[in-house]
Structure 1
Amino acid sequence: MSTSWRQRWQEGRIGFHLQHTHPALAKHWSDLAIAPDTKVLVPLCGKSLDMRWLAEAGHPVLGVELAPEAIEQFLTQSKVSVSRYTQAGFDISRQGSVELWCGDFFHLHIQEAAEIGAFYDRASLIALPPATRERYAFHLAQLIPPGAKGLLVSLAHPDHGAGPPYSVLGTEIHQLFTANFRVTLLEEGSPDERGRTESVWSLTRRGPLV
């Protein structure tokens, strides 16, 4: 996937990128009652403006992205100065309260995610083919502490085998996450002109609270 993903960014084939904050984030994030200073993990973050929204809501943000092109484009959207350093094999750019880790999400380990207390997935799960989605759900569970919450925006469409974005039905979301998360459907939209339907989920990490 890494080569094709980089190629998409290099060629500007990023139809998945929104030029605005996703409505589900503004609508449902407050319902999760996550403390403002809680650090939010955003896997496969691209140059999503949702990270700016989270930062403005008081959250430190840790975004993980494979394509350096996406990170540089995000950074140029703001005049805030950038500091850069390397840690645990990732090239990290910090701008304000947003940290962007350039590298493979599956190489992010619990030591690096120790401060994470919430997560947000708008286009991560649906960017991954079926076999990788299982790995993603398991890895996310390793990084998220018990009791922590997150928001997941998924997509279903008629051409189930095609992607990204791939079609991920509610039944699969339950199969992927229920072992490690309490899964709640918050909203299911109406199909758009291409028959694509978004759904919004809250996930709470299971396990004993420390």
Structure 2
Amino acid sequence: MDAEFWHSRWAENRIGFHLDDANPLLLKYWSALGATREDSVLVPMCGKSIDLDWLAQKHSHVIGVELSQIAVRAFFAEHLYTPMVIEQGNGQAVYEFDEIKIHCGDFFTVQVEPTDVVYDRAALIAMPKTLRKQYADRLLSLTKPGGRILLITLDYPQEQLNGPPFSVDEAEVNALFEGCKITLLERDDKDESHPRRQQGISRFAEEAWLIETPTLAL
């Protein structure tokens, strides 16, 4: 999977992953991170998520990273925000309005300062298995020592459904974030009425994780 895949999804408006309201797991578990208003928040592969606006009501510095310029422009247009835009060349730009700054570019290469807390709803599960270790390492490099990550994942038999979104089970979460304190906040096993189960998937669960990075040694 390459950048063109995601550019095509946005260009064709095939964005079933986009939610029209703030994610319920974000609302339920954000307080578990113990983040203050001054803590900076990173949202990788943010799309045009409503979650950005919800986070900006609670934090002074919300930093999104998104590959698609269509998604970034749509976020600001749909909220009637007029951002300041700084072009950075090679198709990259920074869009900024009040508490929200979105870097439009490749998550693996954009220049972003490490943040205090991270919210990942749809980034890790958008990565094919071959890229997940590289992604997790990059995410941890952008999280300050002692930082916290609210991570949302899916767990289902991968052979029964093509991703994205991909299945990332507990064992893989533990391997990707080895050395961190990892807490399962919730596992929601969907019943047969869930759309994915109606596609013939034998089981389908959404999980919320709290990842706490090590603090610097004194």
Task: Give the alignment's TM-score, normalised by structure 1.
Answer: 0.92
Q: Is the 8 A contact 2:103 2:110 kept in 1?
A: no
Alignment of 1:1-210 (within 5 A): 1-87=2-88, 90-109=92-111, 112-114=112-114, 116-160=115-159, 162-179=162-179, 181-192=180-191, 193=194, 194-195=196-197, 196-208=204-216
Could you tell me how far apart the structure 2 residues matched to 1:12 and 1:143 are? 30
Q: Is the 8 A contact 1:82 1:94 kept in 2?
A: yes
Could you tell me how far apart the structure 1 residues matched to 2:16 and 2:100 are? 23
Q: C-alpha displacement at 1:86, in angstroms?
A: 3.1
Count of residue pairs brought into register by the alignment: 206
Could you tell me how far apart the structure 2 residues matched to 1:205 and 1:154 are? 18
Q: Where does structure 2 lack aligned partners over 5 or more consecutive residues? A: 198-203
Q: Where does structure 1 lack aligned partners over 5 or more consecutive residues? A: none
Could you tell me how far apart the structure 1 residues matched to 2:211 and 2:63 are? 18
Could you tell me how far apart the structure 2 residues matched to 1:153 and 1:59 are? 23
Could you report, residue by residue, the CA deviation over 1:20-67 in whole angstroms, capped at 9, with x for unpaired residues?
100011111012111111110111111111111100112411100001
Could you tell me how far apart the structure 2 residues matched to 1:12 and 1:157 are? 26
Task: Give the alignment's TM-score, normalised by structure 2.
Answer: 0.89
Q: What's the RMSD between the two structures over aligned residues?
A: 1.7
Q: C-alpha displacement at 1:209, in angstroms?
A: 5.7
Could you tell me how far apart the structure 2 residues matched to 1:163 and 1:169 are? 14
Deviates more, 1:34-43 or 1:85-94: 85-94
Show structure 1 runs of 4+ deviating over 4 A.
Answer: none
Could you report, residue by residue, the CA deviation over 1:139-160 in whole angstroms, capped at 9, with x for unpaired residues?
1111111101110000122334
Could you tell me how far apart the structure 2 residues matched to 1:144 and 1:88 are? 25
Could you tell me how far apart the structure 2 residues matched to 1:162 and 1:206 are? 35
Q: Is the 8 A contact 1:38 1:59 kept in 2?
A: yes
State the identity %.
37
Q: Is the 8 A contact 2:84 2:96 kept in 1?
A: yes
SS in 2 for 1:145: strand
Could you tell me how far apart the structure 2 residues matched to 1:88 and 1:185 are? 40
Which structure: larger Rg?
Answer: 2
Would the alpha carbon gap of residues 19 and 209 (structure 1) be closer, same or farther in structure 2, given more than 3 Å must change? farther
